[in-house]
């Protein structure tokens, strides 16, 4: 885990009189969720928008919009989804145009983090100690970017991997393999009673956004002449997603030359949603194969499925069946509260850290 502090001019004697707000955050590609020690739990779409011009500024009466409101008003906004595959977007090659875009995304990410923290309604006289979940194999540079985004609004911040946070929140710290399916990445982490190391974790880019891309391609082939956006595809997936047998045909309306037209897309939904199963089981197999042979069977029979993507109907059963076919055994359990599982765990980590730990960081 990574740590950082925010410097403060407040003398120690005054700090000791302050209360502490502990905060857990799941900073996701699609959604950002927070859980706070004052009982607050909130989630917001990870999108940020700024008025395009003087007209939109007059219309919106604000300098920045977030979440659902930004989505509704996006035609009036310079619109950003600053996280991609679970990390803040920025250029690695130094291209000037990409660097300019990177600057915008870094600002949008920082504003999103500040907004998410504000949703916890911290008091002015409270110290804020935050734990933020990020992809298991996020780069040092991206972890630093997340810390920089948070440091102006918290007194101390620590980064942990998202699947570790899920496991910690459920007290599943020994002989369990966690699969956390987000929008940008699927993160896997094996827990064996200690802090997970890099070798215990795998991040793959096949997750919710990948399913959206697969479904969009299938719809282009299936729905001749239909017009749709990737946001429409995402909404279709979230409403109808499944991987087993369909109880009823899936029918949607899409515009063709401006006219709403019905299409039956049951096969396409199932195929797109199943596209992540093999990569997940492949990654799971790598973590099992490199584990202590005496405990491999225990690990295979204690797989915990979490994250927003775990809500796909029948996914836990499908992964379990694939494991049994390939490895001879396997048992998959679905975690409760897929939206808040990471934030709940991050909050619990923040609570369990001794006060002197946070004080030393400060």
Count of domains in the chain? 2
- Do 233 and 160 belong to one domain? no
Residue 346 in any domain: the answer is yes
Q: Is 323 within a domain?
A: no
Question: Does residue 64 sit in the same domain as residue 116?
Answer: yes
The verdict on 15 and 130 lying in the same domain is: yes
Do 61 and 79 touch, CB atoms closer than 8 A? no
Write down which residue in 245, 274, 303 finishes a domain: 274
The pLDDT assigned to 6 comes to: 40
Say what the pLDDT of residue 284 is: 96
Percentage of the chain lying above the pLDDT 90 cut: 69
Least confident of 14-23, 70-79, 123-132: 14-23
Is 300 within a domain? no
- Per-residue model confidence (pLDDT) at position 125: 86
> Do 41 and 146 reside in the same domain of the chain?
yes
Q: Which of 55-64, 133-142, 242-251, 280-289 has the lowest mean pLDDT?
A: 133-142
Which residue, of 257, 274, 291, is where some domain finishes? 274
Same domain for 125 and 34: yes
Of the candidate ranges 83-92, 122-131, 192-201, the one whose mean pLDDT is the lowest: 83-92
Confidence grade of residue 147 (pLDDT, cut at 50, 70, 90): confident
Let me know if residue 61 belongs to a domain: yes
Provide the pLDDT for residue 362.
66
Strand ranges (DSSP E) for the chain? Answer: 2-5, 19-27, 31-36, 41-45, 48-51, 65-66, 77-80, 83-84, 87-88, 126-134, 156-161, 174-181, 186-192, 201-204, 251-256, 259-264, 303-306, 332-334
Q: Are residues 227 and 152 in the same domain?
A: no
Per-residue pLDDT at 218? 98
Domain boundary, last residue among 237, 255, 274: 274
pLDDT 10s digits, 308-355: 999 999 999 999 999 999 999 999 999 988 899 999 999 999 999 988
* pLDDT: which is higher, 169 or 91: 169
**Quick one: pLDDT at residue 100?**
75
Q: What is the CATH number of the domain that holds 9?
A: 3.30.420.40
pLDDT for res 323: 97
Phi then psi for residue 98, to 5 deg, are -65, -35
Residues 56 and 164 in one domain: yes
Helices (H), ranges, 140-195: 140-150, 162-169
How far apart (Å, rounded) are the C-alpha atoms in residues 319 and 304? 11
User: First and final CA of the chain: distance in angstroms?
Assistant: 16
Model confidence band, residue 8 (pLDDT cutoffs 50, 70, 90)? very low
* 217 & 353 share domain: no
User: Nearest CA to 349 among 116, 175, 169, 196?
Assistant: 169
Joined tokens for residue 182? 């987000």
Residue 126: inside a domain:
yes
pLDDT tens figures, 31-67: 999 999 999 999 999 999 999 999 999 999 999 999 9
| Confidence check: pLDDT of 7 > 70 | no
Tell me if 191 is assigned to some domain. Answer: no
Kindly state whether residues 120 and 259 are assigned to the same domain: no
E strands within 182-239?
Answer: 186-192, 201-204
Domain that holds residue 226: 208-274
User: Measured between alpha carbons, how far is 361 from 97 in angstroms, rounded to an integer?
Assistant: 37
How confident is the model over 63-80, as a mean pLDDT? 95
pLDDT band with cut points at 50, 70 and 90 for residue 138: low
- Are residues 81 and 132 both part of a single domain? yes
Query: Strands of 65-66's sheet, edge to edge?
Result: 65-66, 48-51, 77-80
> Mean pLDDT across the stretch 238-260?
94
State residue 86's pLDDT score.
Answer: 66
pLDDT band at residue 1 under the 50/70/90 scheme: low
Q: Is the model's pLDDT at 95 over the cut of 90?
A: no
13 with 125, same domain? yes
pLDDT at 10 over 80: no
């Amino acid at each position: 885990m990574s740590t950082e502090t925010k410097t403060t001019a407040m003398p120690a004697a005054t700090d000791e009189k302050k209360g502490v707000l502990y905060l857990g955050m799941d900073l996701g590609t699609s959604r950002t969720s927070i859980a706070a020690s004052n009982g607050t739990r909130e989630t917001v779409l990870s999108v940020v928008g700024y008025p395009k011009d003087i007209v939109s500024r007059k219309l919106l009466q604000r300098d920045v919009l977030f979440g659902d409101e930004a989505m509704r008003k996006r035609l009036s906004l310079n619109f950003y989804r600053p996280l991609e595959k679970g990390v803040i977007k920025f250029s690695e090659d130094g291209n000037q145009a990409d660097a300019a875009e990177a600057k915008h995304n870094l600002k949008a990410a920082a504003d999103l983090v500040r907004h998410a923290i504000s949703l916890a309604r911290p008091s002015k006289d409270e110290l804020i100690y935050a734990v933020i979940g990020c992809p298991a194999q996020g780069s040092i540079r991206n972890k630093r970017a997340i810390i920089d985004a948070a440091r102006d609004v918290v007194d101390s911040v620590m980064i942990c991997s998202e699947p570790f946070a899920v496991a910690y929140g459920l007290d599943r710290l020994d002989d369990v393999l966690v699969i956390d399916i987000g929008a940008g990445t699927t993160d896997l982490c094996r827990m064996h009673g200690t802090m997970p190391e890099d070798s215990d974790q795998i991040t793959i880019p096949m997750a919710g956004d990948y399913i959206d891309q697969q479904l969009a391609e299938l719809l282009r082939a299936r729905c001749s002449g239909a017009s749709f956006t990737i946001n429409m595809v995402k909404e279709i997936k979230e409403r109808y997603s499944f991987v087993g047998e369909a109880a009823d045909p899936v029918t949607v309306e899409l515009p063709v030359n401006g006219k709403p037209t019905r299409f039956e897309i049951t096969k396409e939904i199932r195929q797109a949603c199943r596209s992540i199963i093999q990569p997940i089981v492949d990654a799971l197999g790598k973590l099992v194969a490199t584990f202590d042979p005496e405990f491999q069977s225990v690990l295979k029979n204690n797989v915990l499925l979490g994250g927003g993507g775990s809500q796909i109907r029948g996914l836990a059963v499908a992964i379990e069946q694939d494991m049994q076919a390939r490895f001879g055994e396997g048992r998959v359990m679905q975690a409760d509260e897929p939206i808040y599982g990471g934030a709940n765990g991050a909050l619990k980590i923040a609570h369990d850290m001794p006060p002197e730990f946070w004080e030393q960081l400060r």
